[in-house]
Amino acid sequence: MKRLLYIRRASQVVTVAGSGNKPKTGSEMSDIRVIEHGGVVLENDRIVFVGAHGDAEAWVRSFEDRETDAQVQRIEAEGKIVLPGLVDPHTHLVFAGSREHELEMRLNGATYIEILQQGGGILYSTTQTRAASEQQLIEQSRRRLDRFIQYGVTTIEAKSGYGLTVEDELKQLRAARKLNDSHPVDIVSTFMGAHAVPSEYKANPDDYVRYVIEDMLPKVADEQLAEFCDVFCEQGVFTVEQSERILEAGKRWGLIPKIHADEIVSFGGAELAAKLGAISADHLLKASDEGIRMMAQAGVVAVLLPGTALYLMESPARAREMIENGVAVALSTDRNPGSSPTESLPLIMNLACFTMKMTPAEVITASTINAAYAIGRAEEIGSIETGKKADLVLFDAPNYQFLQYNFGVNLVDMVIKNGDIVVQ
Ligand code: NIG
Ligand code: FE
């Protein structure tokens, strides 16, 4: 029997104007499609109609005439807006424990990199993650996923990088796979064995790079545990040359490069992303003018993380210059235990507006279709178009600008994932 979910008479249905085949850049980022008094019809896990109220009514009526035994569930959405399910293209979802003690260390003047170099930071989380079983990782991470979906996020990327041994990296990636299979939020996996140099390799970081390339990558590829490969390319972590070696090796195993670039110092990460043809370069707080120009030319998506900048008390990335220079911008929480412990992508959207001067329309493009491009999913998700996955979020807001105006609160009213109501 056919089953329809019909969202009626929404104040606005907000999506992007035609997903096209490349991420939105420049003025395209403002070119959203707003249907006043709109309707969306879902059949099983697909969007089958989107349009104005009158057309939606006619579509559903004619469907009911044809399919007399079909079940149509109507959702009254007056006073609400409908968006595509939000996409978070950069998280470190799977880890054990937490690091609230570091917040006070940083308030007392310690820097993020100093804490890492003293064996804290990522290495602290690594100790806890190594000690946890796969099942414990699943349980802790599931709670984070439950929060993500409460904030309207229906797909996330998730990186490994708190294991830093073959077994512990595989454990994290297997946990992510099992969560993907058992939780409504879809998870796209990234291998990030090069997240930090573990203490046992402190004196020989190049040996660790070799270990990542020769011992980790083949196993990750063999079990098909990841689609992307990421490196923390940063002064005092992995050099540009080491990052290039790892990402090139990843490519040979079929993993698409991503890169944590120019987060703390200007380091050539954006330039490397362009040179490698990475799908995204992320952070970019200190990206150079040349790096921005090269990213635009190479079509690398800039995944910006204004929550991390705020949490590390750093100046935000230069989103306006990126957009004006033709770089496609996406937004993400960077959910992790050290530099951005939040699942609230709507808060990140607020910060993009207030700290980087992105407009409400650009913010929507950046957290839907451009975010989907950053994880290779734009064919399936990131806009409300017929044929795409039935992933939607309803907000208790009269128009899309209201999401940035009434900031810092959770306006999510309902979340629909694969055609099922999962939050209400
Ligand atoms: O994206 N910069 C490196 N990695 C993460 C932080 C990880 C952590 O502190 O645990 C980030 O900010
Ligand atoms: Fe990160």
Atom 1 of ligand 1 has which residue's CA nearest to it? 334
Taking the CA of residue 208 as centre, how many other CA atoms within 13 Å lie in the half-sphere pointing to its CB?
23
CB 260 within 8 A of CB 338: no
* Contact of 298 with 261, CB cutoff 8 Å: no
Question: Does 90 appear as a known binding residue?
Answer: yes
Structure tokens given for 285 = 């707080």
Q: 10 with 37: CB under 8 angstroms?
A: yes
Spatial CA neighbour of 121 closest among 196, 171, 191: 196
Containing structural domain, residue 288: 86-374
Distance between Cα 231 and ligand 1 center (Å): 11
* Number of structural domains in the chain: 2
The tokens for 70 are 């079909």
Q: Which CATH number characterizes residue 66's domain?
A: 2.30.40.10
pLDDT at 20: 80
60 CA to middle of ligand 2, Å? Answer: 44
Per-residue pLDDT of the chain (424 residues), as tens digits, is 789 999 999 999 999 987 788 999 999 999 999 999 999 999 999 999 999 999 999 999 999 999 999 899 999 999 999 999 999 999 999 999 999 999 999 999 999 999 999 999 999 999 999 999 999 999 999 999 999 999 999 999 999 999 999 999 999 999 999 999 999 999 999 999 999 999 999 999 999 999 999 999 999 999 999 999 999 999 999 999 999 999 999 999 999 999 999 999 999 999 999 999 999 999 999 999 999 999 999 999 999 999 999 999 999 999 999 999 999 999 999 999 999 999 999 999 999 999 999 999 999 999 999 999 999 999 999 999 999 999 999 999 999 999 999 999 999 999 999 999 999 9
**What's the pLDDT score for residue 2?**
86
Residues 389 and 245 in one domain: no
Do 341 and 264 reside in the same domain of the chain? yes
* Helix boundaries (H) for 2-52: none
Which atom of ligand 1 is least distant from the CA of 95? 10
Q: Say whether both 57 and 116 belong to one domain.
A: no
Among all chains, which residue has been given the structure tokens 């100093």?
Answer: 114
ipTM for the predicted complex: 0.97
Has 350 been labeled as part of a binding site? no
The residue whose C-alpha atom lies closest to atom 6 belonging to ligand 1 is 339
What is the model's pLDDT at position 100? 97
Q: Which residues contact 141 (CB under 8 A, 6 or more apart)?
A: 93, 94, 95, 175, 176, 179
- Determine if residue 260 is labeled as part of a ligand binding site: yes
DSSP 364-406: HHHHTHHHHHHTT-TTTSSS--TTSB--EEEES-SSTTHHHHS
Give the separation between CA 270 and CA 293, rounded to whole angstroms. 9
Most informative mutation of 114, 156, 159, 195 for ligand 1 (most atoms within 8 A of CB): 195
Instruction: Give the ligand at the shortest distance from the Cα of 262.
Output: 1
Closest ligand 1 atom number to CA of residue 112: 9
Helices (H) and strands (E) in the chain — how many of each? 17, 16
Question: Ligand 1 center to residue 122 CA distance, Å?
Answer: 7
Task: Work out which ligand 1 atom sits closest to the CA atom of 234.
Answer: 2
Helix (H) or strand (E) holding 412: strand 412-417
Same domain for 104 and 57: no
Domain match, 189 and 115 both: yes
User: Whose structure tokens read 């008094």?
Assistant: 37
**Residues 207 and 255 reside in one and the same domain:** yes
Please name the residue that has the structure tokens 């991503």.
Answer: 258
In sequence order, which residues have a C-beta less than 8 Å from that of residue 56 and are 6 or more positions away?
6, 8, 38, 39, 40, 41, 49, 50
**241 and 270 in contact (C-beta within 8 Å)?**
no
Tell me which of 336, 354, 374 is where a domain ends: 374
241 alpha carbon – ligand 1 mean position (Å): 20
Q: Which residue bears the tokens 């990126």?
A: 322
Q: Whose CA is nearest to atom 12 of ligand 1?
A: 339
Looking at the fold, whether 170 and 140 belong to one and the same domain comes out as yes
Bridge partners of residue 157, in order along the sequence: 188
Are residue 321 and residue 413 in the same domain, yes or no? Answer: no
Q: Are residues 219 and 247 in the same domain?
A: yes
CA of 338 to the centre of ligand 1 (A): 6
Question: Ligand 1 centroid vs 30 CA: distance in angstroms?
Answer: 30
Give the closest residue to 158 by CA, choosing from 221, 236, 225, 224: 225
For residues 153 and 291, membership in a common domain is answered with yes
pTM for this model (two decimals): 0.98
Exposure of 200 by Cβ count < 10 A (0-12 exposed, 13-18 middle, 19+ buried)?
A: exposed
**Ligand 2 centre distance from Cα of residue 90 (Å):** 6
User: Can you give the pLDDT at residue 102?
Assistant: 97
Ligand nearest to the CA of 258: 2
User: For ligand 1, atom 3, which residue shows the shortest CA distance?
Assistant: 232
State whether 335 and 409 are in the same domain: no
Sequence-distant (6+) residues with CB within 8 A of 239 are 233
Site to substitute for ligand 1 among 95, 192, 195, 339, most atoms within 8 A of C-beta:
339
| Helix, strand, coil % in the chain, rounded to nearest 5 | 40, 25, 35
Q: Are 395 and 361 members of one domain?
A: no
CB-based pocket (< 6 A), ligand 1: 92, 121-122, 125, 232, 260, 263, 308, 334, 336-339
CATH code, 107: 3.20.20.140
